[in-house]
Every structure is written in C-alpha cells, then in structure tokens.
Amino acid sequence: MSPDRSRSSDAPDKRRTPDSIAPAPTSAPTSGPAPTLPLALGGYAATRVIGLAILALAAVATGKDGLHRLRGRWDSVWYVRIAENGYGHQVTLPDGSVHSDLAFFPLFPALERGLSAVLPVDAATAGLLVSWTASLAAAWGIYAVGTHVAGHRAGVVLAVLWGVYPTAFVQSMAYTETLFTALAAWSILAVLRGRWILAGALCAFAGLTRPTAAALIAALGITAVVTVVRERKLSVRMVTGVLLAPLGWLAYVVYVGVRESSPTAYFDVQAAWGNSIDGGVALARFIWGLPPLAALGLVAALGLLGWLVALCVRQKQPLPLLVYTIAVVVISLIGAAYFGSRPRLMMPAFGLLLPPAVALVRLRPRNQVLVLTGLALASGAYGAFTLLGSGPP
C-alpha cells in the first residue's frame, strides 16, 4: 500500500484476501473526530492503574518500596545521573569491562533535566512524569495507527493490548520505551498519511531516544523507495523526510565519536555493555545452556513470535508498519544483550499485536473486556514480581 494513496480500511475492499485485515462492519470511518479515542486512552490507562495497584499491594506485602523501583532502578539510575551531571560517568566491573553512560541516548535525560528545572520535582520524579505522559501519547499513536489500518474498534483493542504486554510494567517506569514508541507510532502514522516531513522529524527525535530508531529509519527509507518505484515520481517532501529521519541517531553517534576521538566509539561503548550485534549467536548459546524443558519452552515462545510476524505479513499490514515491526524484532534477537531484556526491547513493535487485536474485535464486548482484564492482571502480577525481584526488565 502506498502511503500517499492509502485508503481508510473501514471502507470495504474486494481485493482483500481472507487473511488480510478486515475491520468490523460497524467500525466508524477514520476521517473526522474519533469517538473511540477516549475509550482507547481510558482502557490503556486502566491497564497501567491495575499494574500499579498490584505493585503497591505486593510492595506492602513484601515490605519493599514500589515507587523507588519505578523511578530509581536499573537504567533509570543512569538516566537520572546524566540528567543531573551530564555525560562522563562509567563503572568498571570486576571482570575489567567498562560500562559508560555514553550508551544511553540523550533525549530522555534532557527532558528529565528540563522538567525538573521548571517543576518542584527531582530528576527521578521528572522521569516518571515524562514516561507516563509519553505512554498516553504512545497509546494514542498506536490507536491512531490501528484505526487507520483496521478501524476504530481494532485501534482501541490494539492500544489496550500494548498496555497488557508481558513487560508493560516498564511503561510505568522512568524508561525510554514509552517516549520512543510514541515517536515511532506517530511517525509511522505520518508516513501512512503522506506527511513525510513530519514523519522524518519525529524519526529524528526517536533517533535521539533509542538506538532501535534504526528500525524506524529503515521503515521510512524502504517505504520511500517502494513508493518511488510504484508511482515513478519523487517528491521534495519525501526526500526531505527521508533525509531528516536518520539525523538524530547519526548526531549522537557522531557526538560520541568526537568526544572519544574514535569513529567507532559509540559501537565500542555498546560492545562493552555486551550489546554488540552477533547475528543471534548469544541467543543460541543461551538456549543451548538451558535445561531441556526451559529450552523447549523458550523455543516455543520464539516460534509464537515467528507466527505473529507471519500473521503480520499475511494480513498485508502497511509497508512502513510491517518493516518497522520486523526490524525491531530482528534487532532485538541478533544482539548479544542479556536475554532477559529482549522482551522489553521488542515492546515498541506494537504491530505484532495487530493480529490478536483484529481477532479480539470479533468477540462480544463483554468477552473482550474479560480477556483484556485477565491479561492486565497477569501482566501486572508479572511486573510486580520482576520489579520487586532481582532480574532486569
């Protein structure tokens, strides 16, 4: 589907195959006001409230500080330190490897610093405010993309499903996932609507947020190439958007290179953290080292992931969304990062949730609520267990 000629998927399309996305007949048109937007944002917010409530109860039961786990644990500590002191901190581990704060992109700590300067809150609390605000912007963007592709009701369910993702508790932490997902969702929507300059600008900001922006940059670039080949014309706006897209990511990589006097400095920093690209070797070794039953379960989970990707392709999702989703999944799997963080790294790939969202729309509203509530409770319980435990998200 060409972004400049995409049509509302709420209108019937006789060319659709049985496996392609087809919204419910009662879905409202995508033009004009979105009457289901409050439902999408309210449903998403409800999932986060459920998660926070479960965390609060578990924290009381275990005598731990749940709020501290949200605002000052794992990567959150690094972001706060950057917000308060700038770059320059590093930690040398017992094995001699060096973890530098240059591994963390600058937009999130910059927002923490700016917000704490204008509000009577510290940087850690500012991080929560940024993350929570961005989570609503992300849910809105995900709803908008889902609505554009499959109708309003699918958009609502898609936004709520993102809120019950297994590692959705990270959406309530002072982490970058919500900010990045918001920028990515709105950038993809801009492409789908043919607003290339806006898409490129949002992608540039995403590139200042997370290295995963490479997936979004690829989505814009590949979509532009396919559009030019199909339509045999090249617009100035498209070229401008594509050129804008990688500027944020490139700017930070260049900054680290200049600061460290090495063109490969950023990649060296990431490698020291164990985040180098190895083509999936680390993942294969991790699976091989597990007990047989655990390895079988993990292989089954990866099989489910592959099945979801295949469903995304069969549903003929719009090219920018499909490329972005697949690229995020691939980037998350081919790196040498600790396995426990990989589900979190894939969370911005909200396109994976579109097949189940379309399936849930076919259920009665009562059954939809029951399913989503059950998932919210399970996600919240897992989040509380993880946050109050010792493992990384």
Domain residue extents for the chain: 36-387
**Can you tell me the mean pLDDT for 171-197?**
96
Q: What is the DSSP letter of 335?
A: B
Chain segment 244-301, per-residue pLDDT in tens: 999 999 999 999 999 999 999 999 999 888 787 777 787 888 888 888 898 898 899 8
Measured in Å, how far apart are the chain's first and last C-alpha atoms?
36
Sorting pLDDT into bands at 50, 70 and 90, what band is 47?
A: very high
Asked which of 12-26, 43-57, 111-125, 236-250 is least confident by mean pLDDT, the reply is 12-26
- pLDDT, greater one: 280 or 393: 280
How confident is the model at residue 160, as a pLDDT? 97
User: What mean pLDDT value characterizes the chain?
Assistant: 88
Give percent above pLDDT 70 in the chain. 90
Q: What is the DSSP letter of 121?
A: S
How confident is the model at residue 28, as a pLDDT? 37
Give percent above pLDDT 90 in the chain. 69
- Pair 174, 130: CB distance under 8 Å: yes
* The token pair that represents 38 in the structure block: 């409050």
- pTM for this model (two decimals): 0.89
Sorting pLDDT into bands at 50, 70 and 90, what band is 34?
A: low
Instruction: List, in sequence order, the alpha helices (H) in the chain.
Output: 37-62, 66-71, 75-85, 107-118, 123-150, 152-163, 177-192, 196-206, 213-231, 236-244, 247-260, 265-272, 281-288, 292-314, 319-334, 342-346, 354-361, 365-387
How confident is the model at residue 112, as a pLDDT? 97
Q: Which residues contact 277 (CB under 8 A, 6 or more apart)?
A: 334, 335, 336
Tell me how far apart the alpha carbons of residues 157 and 206 are, in angstroms, rounded to a whole number: 25
> What is the sign, positive or negative, of the torsion defined by CA atoms of 309, 313, 314, 319?
positive
Q: What is the DSSP letter of 91?
A: E
- pLDDT, greater one: 181 or 274: 181
* The token pair that represents 1 in the structure block: 């589907």
- Pair 165, 346: CB distance under 8 Å: no
